[in-house]
A = this chain, B = another copy of it.
């Protein structure tokens, strides 16, 4: 029986969790893998801290437990890449700089399997890494890169092969979902909720990527290219964060039986592919509306088997690490390598502006008679069916009201707003807020 030898590069929150699980489940993992799995080496700048946090022996660390300079770490990494005694490298450094990119690429080039939780790297610079893995016939395990503990990658890759994925929608960023949940359940403003999330450890000191939607976008891009066999790039996906969501938006959502969620959405229709990351009004009947706090959830609609929902922890040390260990076991069990079972279909990625959604359009106007008539007439003239018009929400001298449309395109809505501006140049006090409705 050949043993499978693992090296971990980066022993922080996730990498340390992997080392801990590999050591705690040692004999089970070997049984499950049908081969002994041996953790041989860890590269980490500060081994002492990691060893204490994850109860690891210091002699597992390159350098024997002493602090490493970046140069020393680099040279240990090169040793690992060139070693014949390592089969799998777990990359848990994070980031998208050249150092990490080259590390991932060189692991594949050396004929070793790569397991990573690095969604940003795979989404922005993954193409060459996947190509290199294919060329060298090695696995890339990236279950941990998308929604932490939720086994969405293997579900699509191994369990939906008797079907076709039609659409994906999901809550894929725990930080922003925690903020939106707190705004709703505790009546906080966006900034108060963000501070609370930071205090509770759900948001980083710099929460930019979480609240501007880009972290969620990375996950959507990875899921799309897996499910649809497409090669959509990050920059093609329109992404909008939650920074502009106000308490008033949250309150209004309740009025129309919705919760506001940051939704990743992708759909395949007639050879076209459409995707967006943005806040949406999610109808309360939709299970995604019920996902609170830092939990993640992915809803997949399939051609034959209909709707599936997977709910679980989107982050966390051991939670994410358990996905990495499952990838290691999978590689050990199945020598057969296959990055993506799906056809590279001839799908055209289309501009979000041409896709049909029902929308909520919120207008802020002066509090004058005739406003509603003018606005709804302009909307009707652009061939948009109106579902409901909400009552005015008066606020000092202004009035805010919302129009719920039947499915239409952003192009139609933009044209209607242009018509309103031409008919009454000073009527709209703010840029109207346009939010899709998810059923």
- Measuring CB to CB, which residues of chain A are less than 8 angstroms from any residue of chain B? 17, 21, 25, 27-29, 31-34, 143, 148-151, 154-155, 158-164, 287, 290, 302, 304-313, 316, 318-319, 321-330, 333-336, 338, 341-343
Contacts and interface: CB of A to CB of B under 8 A. Distances in A.
Contacts of A334: 333-334, 336
Contact of A305 (B308, B322, B341): B322
A159 B164 contact: no
26 contacts: A21-B304, A25-B163, A28-B164, A28-B342, A31-B343, A32-B341, A143-B159, A148-B305, A149-B306, A150-B308, A151-B155, A151-B158, A151-B159, A154-B155, A154-B158, A159-B326, A161-B326, A162-B321, A162-B328, A162-B329, A304-B322, A305-B312, A307-B312, A307-B313, A308-B311, A308-B312
A319 B335 contact: no
Given A21-B162, A33-B161, A305-B313, 17 more contacts: A28-B342, A31-B343, A32-B161, A34-B336, A148-B305, A154-B158, A162-B321, A162-B325, A162-B329, A163-B325, A305-B319, A306-B313, A308-B310, A311-B311, A333-B338, A333-B341, A336-B336
Contacts of A163: 21, 25, 322, 325-326
Contacts of A164: 25, 28
Which 3 residue pairs are nearest across A and B when measured between Cβ atoms?
Answer: A162-B325, A151-B159, A149-B305
A162 B34 CA distance: 14
A108 B308 CA distance: 32
A368 to B, nearest CB: 44
A343 B32 CA distance: 8
A291 to B, nearest CB: 9
Nearest to A148: B305
A28 B310 contact: no
A13 to B, nearest CB: 13
A159 B312 CA distance: 13
A162 B306 contact: no
A148 B160 CA distance: 13
A162 B322 contact: yes
Contact of A324 (B143, B150, B162): B162
B310 A309 contact: yes
Contacts of A148: 305
A25 B338 CA distance: 19
Contacts of A25: 162-164
A162 B326 contact: yes
Contacts of A17: 304
A301 to B, nearest CB: 11
Nearest to A152: B159
A423 B336 CA distance: 70
A206 to B, nearest CB: 26
Contacts of A321: 162, 304
Contacts of A313: 305-307
Nearest to A323: B162
A321 B306 CA distance: 12
Contact of A287 (B307, B311, B336): B311
Contact of A290 (B32, B287, B326): B287
A137 to B, nearest CB: 12
A164 B155 CA distance: 18
A306 B321 CA distance: 12
Contacts of A323: 159, 162, 305
Nearest to A345: B28
| Highest count of chain B CB atoms <10 Å: which of A150, A159, A333 | A159
Contacts of A155: 151, 154-155, 159
A336 B335 contact: yes
Contacts of A162: 21, 25, 29, 321-329
A212 to B, nearest CB: 27
